[in-house]
Amino acid sequence: MESKRQQKFAGVIQEDLAAIFQREGMNYLPNTLVTITKVRVTPDLAIARVFLSFFNNTNAMQALQTVKQHAAEIRYKLGARIKDQVRVIPQLEFFVDDTSEYVDRMDKIFDKIHREESQHRKE
């Protein structure tokens, strides 16, 4: 369970990272929209785990590697934005948020079950 402090700090990081990716994301990933879906912060506020979703990109793992290569630069830009609010700029760990893929997969499964039930009722 995250404390209120962790949740508030994660929200600040999420907003500022979203602004950074919106303004400068094209430099890292041309023609790709990057969305920060979730940020989790450790209790000591030293590490921020950032979950990303990539739109208009066929290879999410390659996009994630590109973001990881620019992690130091992204952290520096984040630090410039939040330096007056925190003592230490957290290390950033990036992960792919596969929630939308999971939802799509579950929708397909439910559709298949629904079709099979409809066929059994007709028979």
Q: What CATH number does residue 23 fall under?
A: 3.30.300.20
Asked if residue 110 is part of any domain, the answer here is no
- Is the pLDDT at 30 greater than 90? The verdict is no
Asked if residue 52 is part of any domain, the answer here is yes
The structural domain count of the chain equals 1
- The DSSP annotation for 50-63 comes to EEEEEES-S-HHHH
Name the pLDDT band for 40 (thresholds 50, 70, 90).
Answer: very high
Asked if residue 111 is part of any domain, the answer here is no
| Percent of the chain whose pLDDT exceeds 70 | 97
Q: Which is it for strands 91-96 and 47-55: parallel, antiparallel or unpaired?
A: parallel
Instruction: Tell me the per-residue pLDDT of 73-95, one tens digit each, with 9 for 90 and over.
Output: 999 999 999 999 888 899 999 99
Asked if residue 69 is part of any domain, the answer here is yes
Domain containing residue 20: 4-98
CA distances from 123 to 115, 116, 118 (A): 13, 11, 9
- Is the pLDDT at 123 greater than 70? The verdict is no
